[in-house]
């Protein structure tokens, strides 16, 4: 078993050798080593005693399962320990600052969790009669109102389950609107700095994607975009604030030009926390924008929870939004408008994106977050997010290359590059060095338009007291990379795992699951 290594200790060793030698168990004090579940479990162990199943006639129509599935079994305490040990090797927003740019890894207030766990929200079932879940429908409707209000838009589709899913929803609305106009426009324009999900979404929805270059100052090249507009262009997808951490000041000019050419404007609103309460995308001519509740409105993400990506829509696109949605009627009642009633109430809908109405737990958390902040508090969210990012940018621009530092203040994230590191040292070395300092690395090599990018998003929930040691750590690691410290090339040294060969891991993944020996037999 790989958890148990022979100790490397030998009688002739001195004290410092002992420090670096391995232990009998492979553990390092209370940091416990843990093997894969496939290595420690076996298929004959279960946590409960089950009676031998009776032999019954197959009802699988000839598809018989006469082999083991190879799923490892463990007893309950072994299972609990396995996952708890793994969780201790992980990093989480509840452990420390999580500076991943573009991801908005911020504190999730416990108040949200408390509200989401209330029985009336947590225990309802999506197939329950609607008259028994009026409160839950009201939450959806009320959150929808806030999202429309905060963005200055006309309508909102609540169902999409993440940002990328929201993009697809918005692009399908654009497609439906073009079809209703009887137009067959095939091209979506996407700036070079776009998040990878943007071109993927457009391509998935059947559009051809064309890139629009960025200016040397990190913003969309408006002249190039205008020059490409024409009767074949369905629309543009623009992130604002963009992935270089800059506000696209010309978005209104872009929207006007796109509309004049008959297209629609999709705005990637993943970075809305930088402008919430300050700027309304509806005023900038946006037709559709997803909002990542798991970023701006502080619902858990990463390993912590599902995403949720409602899409706000302009008046032009609202008629095409998906069903179901929670409608409010004059008598104060709420109803999910589904297929049966859509013909009358929402006839132009492009259809359905999800089985039910969306991520109820995230809606509850997001509404709790919005209402506990209030309109003035949300404004401060944006101000603090921008202040923190600029504090990081200005604190480190003497050490790390900040390509757009001269373009003025950044928005919610600070962008640096590997320019100026010693020969042979790269962004990756800085990221791995940060792990030894006890931080999750920043986003690396994104946006793609910037060589060796390091994107730091501190978020508004970090205090100066939390930012200062992070800035100190990044400065220290960056200086080691500039001076060519050879130890940095093999960092991390103190993490549960040393530096992995990421290329090999991606190209030749070792999957422990073995092919079953018996073929699946037909009856």
Ligand X SMILES: *Cc1c(COP(=O)(O)O)cnc(C)c1O
Q: Which residues bind ligand X (CB under 6 A)?
A: 102, 162-164, 195, 197, 239, 243, 268, 270-271, 292, 307, 309
State how far the Cα of 221 lies from the Cα of 326, in Å rounded to an integer.
40
CA-to-CA separations, 58 to 51, 66, 69, 517, in angstroms, rounded: 19, 11, 17, 21
Largest CA distance in the chain: 86
**Cα 53–chain centre separation:** 43
φ, ψ dihedrals at 357, nearest 5° = -100, 0
Minimum distance from residue 167 beta carbon to ligand X (Å) = 7
Kindly write down the DSSP assignment for every residue of 104-131, as one continuous string. Answer: ------HHHHHHHTSHHHHT--TTS-GG
Q: Please say whether the beta carbons of 348 and 179 come within 8 A.
A: no
Residue 311 or 488 having the CB closest to ligand X: 311
**Residue 326, SS3?**
strand
Minimum distance from residue 314 beta carbon to ligand X (Å) = 19
φ, ψ dihedrals at 278, nearest 5° = -110, -40
Residue 359 or 388 having the CB closest to ligand X: 359
> Which tokens belong to 351?
């259809």
Minimum distance from residue 333 beta carbon to ligand X (Å) = 32
Residue 264 or 272 having the CB closest to ligand X: 272
Minimum distance from residue 399 beta carbon to ligand X (Å) = 26
Peptide bond into 324 cis (omega under 30): yes
Residue 270 or 288 having the CB closest to ligand X: 270
Minimum distance from residue 310 beta carbon to ligand X (Å) = 11
Residue 376 CB-density burial (10 A; 0-12 exposed, 13-18 middle, 19+ buried) = exposed
- State the residue number with the nearest CB to ligand X: 163
Peptide bond into 126 cis (omega under 30): no
State the SS3 of 384-414.
Answer: HHHHHHHHHHHHHCCCCECCCHHHCCCCCCE
Neighbours of 259 (CB within 10 A): 17
Minimum distance from residue 102 beta carbon to ligand X (Å) = 4
Minimum distance from residue 248 beta carbon to ligand X (Å) = 12
Residue 74 or 202 having the CB closest to ligand X: 202
Minimum distance from residue 181 beta carbon to ligand X (Å) = 28
Residue 269 or 321 having the CB closest to ligand X: 269
Residue 237 or 477 having the CB closest to ligand X: 237
Residue 41 or 358 having the CB closest to ligand X: 358
Residue 273 or 364 having the CB closest to ligand X: 273
Residue 271 or 349 having the CB closest to ligand X: 271
Residue 112 or 395 having the CB closest to ligand X: 112
Kindly write down the DSSP assignment for every residue of 472-519, as one continuous string. Answer: HHHHHHHHHHHHT-GGGGG--SSSSS----HHHHHHS----PPPPSSP
Q: What is the CA radius of gyration of the chain?
A: 26
State the SS3 of 148-186.
Answer: HHHHCCCEEECCCCCHHHHHHHHHHHHHHHHHHCCCCCC
State how far the Cα of 317 lies from the Cα of 288, in Å rounded to an integer.
7
State how far the Cα of 476 lies from the Cα of 483, in Å rounded to an integer.
11
Minimum distance from residue 164 beta carbon to ligand X (Å) = 3
Minimum distance from residue 209 beta carbon to ligand X (Å) = 15
Residue 243 or 390 having the CB closest to ligand X: 243
Cα torsion angle, 370, 371, 374, 377, sign: negative
Looking at the chain, the number of H-run helices and the number of E-run strands are 15, 12
Q: Please say whether the beta carbons of 153 and 314 come within 8 A.
A: yes
State how far the Cα of 309 lies from the Cα of 162, in Å rounded to an integer.
4
Minimum distance from residue 281 beta carbon to ligand X (Å) = 14
Minimum distance from residue 523 beta carbon to ligand X (Å) = 43
Minimum distance from residue 168 beta carbon to ligand X (Å) = 10
Residue 266 or 320 having the CB closest to ligand X: 266
């Amino acid at each position: 078993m790989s958890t148990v290594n022979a100790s490397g200790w030998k009688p002739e060793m001195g004290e410092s050798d002992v420090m670096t030698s391995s232990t009998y168990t492979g553990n390092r004090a209370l940091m416990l080593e843990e093997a894969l579940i496939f290595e420690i479990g076996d298929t004959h162990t279960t946590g409960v005693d089950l009676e031998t199943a009776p032999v019954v006639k197959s009802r699988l129509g000839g598809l018989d399962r006469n082999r083991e599935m190879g799923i490892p079994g463990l007893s309950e305490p072994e299972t609990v320990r396995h996952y708890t040990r793994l969780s201790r090797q992980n990093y989480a927003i509840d452990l420390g600052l999580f500076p991943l740019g573009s991801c908005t890894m911020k504190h999730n207030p416990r108040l949200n969790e408390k509200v989401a766990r209330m029985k009336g929200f947590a225990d309802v079932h999506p197939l329950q009669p609607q008259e028994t879940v009026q409160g839950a429908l009201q939450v959806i409707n009320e959150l929808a109102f806030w999202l429309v209000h905060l963005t200055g838009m006309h309508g909102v589709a609540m169902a999409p389950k993440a940002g990328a899913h929201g993009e697809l929803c918005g692009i399908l609305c654009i497609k439906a609107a073009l079809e209703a106009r009887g137009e067959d426009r095939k091209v979506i324009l996407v700036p070079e700095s776009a998040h990878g999900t943007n071109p993927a979404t457009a391509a998935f929805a059947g559009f051809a994607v064309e890139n629009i270059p960025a200016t040397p100052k990190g913003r969309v090249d408006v002249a190039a975009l205008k020059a490409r507009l024409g009767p074949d262009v369905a629309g543009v997808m623009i992130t604002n604030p963009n992935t270089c951490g800059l506000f696209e000041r010309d978005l209104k000019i872009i929207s006007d030009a796109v509309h004049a050419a008959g297209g629609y404007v999709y705005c990637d609103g993943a970075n809305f926390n930088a402008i919430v309460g300050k700027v309304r995308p509806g005023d900038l001519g946006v037709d559709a924008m997803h909002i990542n509740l798991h970023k701006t409105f502080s619902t858990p993400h990463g390993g912590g929870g599902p995403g949720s990506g409602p899409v706000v829509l302009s008046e032009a696109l609202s008629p095409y939004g998906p069903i179901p949605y929670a409608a409010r009627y004059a008598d104060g009642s709420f109803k999910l408008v589904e297929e049966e009633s859509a013909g009358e109430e929402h006839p132009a809908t492009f259809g359905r994106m999800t089985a039910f109405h969306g991520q109820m737990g995230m809606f509850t958390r997001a509404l709790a977050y919005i209402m506990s902040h209030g309109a003035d508090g949300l404004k401060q969210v944006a101000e603090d997010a921008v202040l923190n990012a600029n504090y990081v940018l200005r604190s480190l621009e003497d050490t790390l290359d900040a390509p757009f530092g001269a373009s003025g203040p950044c928005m919610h994230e600070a962008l640096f590059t590997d320019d100026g590191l010693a020969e042979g040292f790269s962004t990756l070395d800085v990221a791995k060095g940060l792990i030894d300092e006890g931080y999750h690395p920043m986003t690396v090599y994104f946006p793609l338009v910037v060589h060796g990018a390091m994107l730091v998003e501190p978020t508004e929930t970090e205090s100066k007291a939390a930012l200062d040691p992070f800035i100190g750590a990044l400065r220290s690691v960056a200086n080691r990379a500039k001076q060519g410290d050879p130890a940095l090339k093999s960092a991390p040294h103190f993490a549960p795992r040393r530096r992995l060969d990421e290329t090999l891991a991606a190209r030749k993944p070792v999957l422990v699951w073995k092919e079953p020996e018996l073929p699946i037999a037909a009856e």
